[in-house]
Amino acid sequence: MTEPKIISGFSKLDRLQKIEWLIEQLKLDKETLEQLNRFQLSEQAIQQLIADLSENQLSNFHLPFSVAPNFRVDGKVLTFPLVTEESSVVAALAKAAGYWAKRDGFHTEIIGTEKKGQVHFSWNGKPEKLSESFSELKEELERDVAPLTQNMEKRGGGITNIRLKHLPEVRPNYYQLDVAFETCNAMGANFINSCLEQMGKTLKNWAKANGDFRDDEKEVEVIMAILSNYVPNNRVKVWVECPVEDLDSDADQAHALAMKFVQAVHISRHDVSRAVTHNKGIFNGIDALAIATGNDFRAIEAGGHAFAASSGQYRGLSNAGITNGNFWFSLEMPLAVGVVGGVTSLHPLAKLAMQIIGQPSARQLMGYLAVAGLASNWSAVRALVTTGIQKGHMKMHLSNILNSLQVSDEQKQAAMLYFQHREVSFSEVQNYLKEHAK
């Protein structure tokens, strides 16, 4: 590939100029413009809205918008909207939903909704001076940030606590203003960051007014002010349970499934090699629903993985067991989400997704996301301890294999029928096509 020249002001070029620059600098096919145009939306207003969501937009990268019905959650039957390129994820969710709908469904419990952020700073004065004056400083922080919090407070949210933390083990003279927030139905990132940045300004002004700067002009140095995606007190628990005998129509098979399933989950709780893949399976479901509803799946994953390692060892996020003849399977994790503002309120399909799932509150959506994670995890682990993961996965992947081999619709239908009860692999599909070539 030809190395492009360094360019200044690329973002100021219009869309066509950006594409022309790429074609020229990277020696791309002349058909590149036509290809990019094919994925643009014909309705200009919606296309402009999508383009404005990001920077340097050239076209749209489409992913399937799917649904999985039959989710019984806290007694209510729901359909989950999903955005993922992996067909087996949608199939797994739908299968788990139908299975557990017949067994009293999924149950949720919101453990907390506290979000956090910090003002990170250095204090070069005497430690006792800062701690003794903190109550006074706290009053100034709350007063100065009040114009930013008043609307959130009207909705029942706002700042719930401000703590001073001294962390010399991180670096000498290092402190935090550790701030807790309730953001109601908003994810709240912009709100939290605006409050924290104002607190940073207030901290510096307070130090100038109250500190002795004759000897040290930098008694306070604000390093940064930013929310944290680690929100262990913004947490949800979801679970399913039933008598062991109800897991399968055959009693022996039911007991064997329960024992092997619990064993597999136990391994994920103690072996990091399995735990990472185990949790990836959980996020298959969570991410698909998060993207569909316009939520930040990257922040959700970061917080989830941190929580998985909070004991000092990275562990599987779900747990399972058999108690008094009852099989249970649960998931507890932090989930910071929003149902107002941002992409959720802007993207037409995110709005539709919220309608499909019943316009939930942020607390309800926390539960639904965790349910999607547990459902995905159930299907994956069940397959692993019974038929193996590849049988179902490759069946769902068959369509992608056939599309990559550019077969006709007639060949595709014949191949789908042929492999309905056969093992699927790329080589087996290739062999079948060669044998049945006209």
The whole-number pLDDT of residue 252 equals 95
Token readout for 243 is 């008598």
Distance CA 76, CA 156 (A): 26
Other CB atoms within 10 Å distance of the CB of residue 2: 9
Q: For 176-210, what is each residue's pLDDT tens digit?
A: 999 999 999 999 999 999 999 999 999 999 988 87
Average pLDDT over residues 345-354: 96
pLDDT of 1 over the 70 cut: no
The whole-number pLDDT of residue 407 equals 77
Other CB atoms within 10 Å distance of the CB of residue 171: 10
Cβ(213)–Cβ(136) under 8 Å? no
Q: For 279-308, what is each residue's pLDDT tens digit?
A: 999 999 999 999 999 999 999 999 999 999
The whole-number pLDDT of residue 430 equals 82
Give 423's pLDDT tier (boundaries 50, 70, 90). Answer: confident
Tally the residues of the chain: 438
Let me know the angle formed at the C-alpha of 118 by 112 and 122, rounded to the nearest 5 degrees.
Answer: 150
Using alpha carbons, list the distances in angstroms from residue 174 to 242, 375, 433: 51, 43, 66
The residues, any chain, with a CB within 8 Å of residue 10's CB and separated by 6 or more, are 18, 21, 56
Q: For 65-81, what is each residue's pLDDT tens digit?
A: 999 999 999 999 999 99
Tokens 């739908």 belong to residue: 94
Distance CA 263, CA 64 (A): 35
Q: Which of 182, 219, 287, 296 is catalytic?
A: 296
Distance CA 222, CA 174 (A): 10
Beta strands 65-73 and 115-123 are unpaired
Using alpha carbons, list the distances in angstroms from residue 200 to 178, 220, 235, 265: 12, 10, 28, 45
Say which residue, 185 or 213, is predicted with more confidence: 185
Sign of the Cα pseudo-torsion (145, 148, 149, 154, in order): positive
Average pLDDT over residues 407-416: 79
Give 434's pLDDT tier (boundaries 50, 70, 90). Answer: confident
Check residue 155 and report its DSSP letter: T
Global pTM value: 0.88
The residues pairing with 83 across neighbouring beta strands, listed in sequence order, are 65
Cβ(115)–Cβ(181) under 8 Å? yes
Percentage of the residues of the chain whose pLDDT score is greater than 90: 81
Q: Which of 237, 255, 280, 412 is catalytic?
A: 280
Cβ(309)–Cβ(315) under 8 Å? yes
The residues, any chain, with a CB within 8 Å of residue 274's CB and separated by 6 or more, are 267, 268, 316
Q: For 113-153, what is each residue's pLDDT tens digit?
A: 999 999 999 998 888 889 999 999 999 999 999 999 999 99
The whole-number pLDDT of residue 161 equals 98
Tokens 């200009």 belong to residue: 44
Q: Name all contacts of 390-393 with Cβ < 8 Å and 24+ positions apart.
A: 391/423, 392/88, 392/91, 392/92, 393/88
Check residue 333 and report its DSSP letter: E
The whole-number pLDDT of residue 219 equals 78
Q: For 158-177, what is each residue's pLDDT tens digit?
A: 999 999 999 999 999 999 99
Q: Which of 20, 74, 86, 245 is catalytic?
A: 86
The whole-number pLDDT of residue 393 equals 55
**In the predicted model, what is the mean pLDDT of the chain?**
93
Residue 188 is which amino acid?
G
The whole-number pLDDT of residue 391 equals 59
Average pLDDT over residues 343-363: 96
Average pLDDT over residues 49-66: 96
Give 57's pLDDT tier (boundaries 50, 70, 90). Answer: very high
Q: Which of 116, 120, 347, 393 is catalytic?
A: 393
User: Is 86 a residue of the active site?
Assistant: yes
The whole-number pLDDT of residue 214 equals 41
Grouping H, G, I as helix, E, B as strand and the rest as coil, residue 68 is: strand
- Residue 393: closest CA among 409, 376, 410: 376
The residues pairing with 318 across neighbouring beta strands, listed in sequence order, are 331
The whole-number pLDDT of residue 389 equals 54
User: Is 280 a residue of the active site?
Assistant: yes
- Residue 111: closest CA among 416, 379, 395, 370: 370
Distance CA 332, CA 282 (A): 11
pLDDT of 84 over the 90 cut: yes
